Amino acid sequence: MSKFLSLFLVLFLFGLHAQTLTLDECIDKTLKNHPDIKKLSLNVSRSNASIDIAKADYLPQINASAQYNPINTFVMPQNGQFNTIEDDNWLVSAQLNQKIYDYSKTTSTINAYKKDKEIAALSLEDRKALLVYNVKIQYDIALLQTNAIEVRLKDLQTKEELYNQAEAFVRAGLKTQADALSLLSAVYVAEDNLAATRAELDKAISTLSIYIGEKIDPQTSLRDDSVTNKNNNIQDSEILFENVITKNYEIKSYQEQISRDGFIYDASKAQHYGSIDAVAIYTHQDSLNAYDTSLVGVTINVPIYSGGRISAQTQQARIAKEESQEAYNSKKLLLEEETQALVIDLQKYRHTLKAKEALIESSQAAKEIVEARYKEGLSTYIEVLDASSTYLLAELGLLEAKFNINNIMNRLDYLQGNIQ
């Protein structure tokens, strides 16, 4: 009775510590904790501040100044002679400048900064989507290796049983020592493969821990929400590509860069024409005599010669606009190439999935027959190992095909800007 209670207590405590970690939880924690998200969020805020800076040119610019000279020499004409007087003097002044018209230079600059903000926001969303994709990869790798461990454990158990049987046959004089040693070698190979698979699982869990920002307990189990268990039909490749071009964050960012560089080009051209400003100045001066001066007027500033600076800036802005257009065209071609390749691979792995499922069924039957014949002395250990290897590779191949399908679907989700 006490042994039963102890076993029940151990199982109960193990159940308390065992936790299930879902993919959605990993995604949520990554998006909350990853420093790249925080950095790009700050970049959006900085871009918003740049807009406010540019908008300041619309508003009046008011400056105040004051000056005091404790010793100042004044020259005064008197009876045909010049006399000097030393005295202190001071003045205070205020100046107001209001831009009236600058040929849309300020407007174009503000619009360019607005595009910078939109680009920063798109970069943030693209990084979120990329992090989600990376988390899905590591989660699926962890699931793949977890399932592979189960397969390799069964394979190891089978080969250990065969080795024990071979040892019994050797003692009975029905098999040679070579049979037992060959099966023992197969056991060692299975143990080594199992250790390598566990190491791959540990690496995936470690990487996933880094993404979510917390340590994952070794006893934590992962929920299998594979897309191969759901409807993973995709639309025609041309429709899919149009969807990618419409929703992909990187391609949207390139489009915004084209618009931004266009506004910068317009602002650069407007520099050739200068600006029209209103100015008002008030000054109070106390030097020998106290008096006030004021000025209200309009100034026209037209750059006549700037050493070629304005022309070079305009040419530079025009080239930048053309570069952005070509960068967009290049990215569009890369996305089309990747999308078509993913669709082709998806079709291939769907066929592989069906083939592996059929191979598992047939190899399982063949494996059972060969093992039964081996026990009766009608098959060799080589036939047993071949049948076991075929079945093992079929099971591992099925897991890999499912993983590749998941990876393709997740990649297509990323290319279409899906964050979840």
| Domain-located, residue 152 | yes
Residue at token pair 């592989």:
352
DSSP-based three-state secondary structure for 188: helix
Poorest-pLDDT segment among 73-87, 189-203, 212-226, 290-304:
73-87
The yes-or-no verdict on residue 397 having pLDDT over 80 is yes
pLDDT at 2: 43
Banded model confidence at residue 232, pLDDT cuts 50, 70, 90:
low
Average pLDDT over the chain, rounded to whole? 87
What percent of the chain stands above pLDDT 70? 93
Q: Quick one: tokens of 379?
A: 């098959």
The yes-or-no verdict on residue 10 having pLDDT over 70 is no
The average pLDDT across 151-161 equals 89
Integer Cα distance of 420 and 410 in angstroms: 10
Range of the domain at 300: 20-415
Residue at token pair 């993983």:
403
| Domain-located, residue 420 | no
DSSP 249-287: HHHHHHHHHHHHHHHHHHHHHHGGG-EEEEEEEEEEEEE
The yes-or-no verdict on residue 269 having pLDDT over 80 is yes
The average pLDDT across 142-151 equals 92
pLDDT at 162: 81
The average pLDDT across 401-415 equals 93
Does residue 16 or residue 66 have the better pLDDT? 66
Does residue 213 or residue 376 have the better pLDDT? 213
Q: Where do the DSSP E strands lie in 79-120?
A: 81-101
pLDDT at 78: 72
The average pLDDT across 281-304 equals 90
What percent of the chain stands above pLDDT 90? 60
| Domain-located, residue 290 | yes
Give the list of residues 6+ apart from residue 402 with CB closer than 8 angstroms, or none. 144, 226, 228, 353
| Domain-located, residue 2 | no
Banded model confidence at residue 83, pLDDT cuts 50, 70, 90:
confident
Q: Quick one: tokens of 163?
A: 């080795």
Banded model confidence at residue 235, pLDDT cuts 50, 70, 90:
low
The pLDDT tens digits for 177-188 are 887 888 889 899
Q: What is the phi/psi pair of residue 100, to 5°? A: -95, -50
| Domain-located, residue 7 | no
The average pLDDT across 146-170 equals 87
The yes-or-no verdict on residue 173 having pLDDT over 80 is no
Q: Which CATH number does the domain housing residue 360 bear?
A: 1.20.1600.10
Does residue 374 or residue 261 have the better pLDDT? 261
Q: Which residues pair with 74 in a beta bridge?
A: 85
pLDDT at 178: 81
| Domain-located, residue 383 | yes
| Domain-located, residue 197 | yes
DSSP-based three-state secondary structure for 416: coil
The pLDDT tens digits for 309-328 are 999 999 999 999 999 999 99
pLDDT at 226: 62
| Domain-located, residue 161 | yes
The average pLDDT across 17-36 equals 86
The average pLDDT across 226-248 equals 72
Number of domains in the chain: 1
